[in-house]
Amino acid sequence: AQKVTQAQTEISVVEKEDVTLDCVYETRDTTYYLFWYKQPPSGELVFLIRRNSFDEQNEISGRYSWNFQKSTSSFNFTITASQVVDSAVYFCALSEIRIIGSARQLTFGSGTQLTVLP
Amino acid sequence: GAVVSQHPSRVICKSGTSVKIECRSLDFQATTMFWYRQFPKQSLMLMATSNEGSKATYEQGVEKDKFLINHASLTLSTLTVTSAHPEDSSFYICSARANTGTASNEKLFFGSGTQLSVL
């Protein structure tokens, strides 16, 4: 069974601070996808990143960066110089990789509510 | 980019009525769509997997007679909450899988969600 744990329920930071959101996962699969989604107050899910399990290179996109450590089953997300607009719930998710045509589900973590104060 | 349209965004209904939520893939065909439910300040829980032309696959604990799913075309899946009760009040969100021919390029796109309030 797959499991995603986001131990931080809520985090508050002051604008311009850096913040790291933790994500730890469990899976029996040797290959899988990891995701981060942002859910602003309006409710929709905004895709941030998808990472293949066989690609452990860290990734940076603007103020966002992701640290994938397969040895510790972690996929942490860092926002540098946080802004008020970053305030949202952030979800980490896991998906197995199957053959084409087979339905694939996302297993979500419980989410981390990030509040960036001005 | 690919867009998934979900309607309505918000619905308020009386207890005992049925509510239909639509999920459409606007510029791609989706053989598989997923329906999630989210309680306040909680994660998204998968309710069912909707497959075009066949019966939906429901997760354990989800009543199939209560939450009717129809995926009659490659661009539309509907979730009907039958005889809604206050405990059905929740945020429902769908996602659609875009098939690009290779597993590595497969992506999931989410609708904007539907807030259901049953009085």
Among candidates A103, A109, A111 on the partner chain, residue whose Cβ is nearest the Cβ of B32: A103
The percentage of residues in chain B with a pLDDT greater than 90, rounded to a whole number, is 57
In the sheet where B76-81 sits, what is the strand order? B4-7, B19-25, B76-81, B67-73
Please give the interface size between A and B, counted as residue pairs whose CB atoms are below 8 Å apart: 62
One-character DSSP codes across B13-53: E-TT--EEEEEEESSS--SEEEEEEE-TTS-EEEEEEEETT
- Report DSSP state, residue A78: E
Average pLDDT, chain B: 88
In chain A, which stretches have pLDDT less than 70? 98-104
pLDDT tens digit sequence for B49-65:
888 888 899 998 999 99
pLDDT confidence bin for B102, thresholds 50/70/90: low
Chain B residue nearest residue A99, CA to CA: B103
* Interface test with chain A among B38, B108, B116, by most A beta carbons within 10 Å: B108
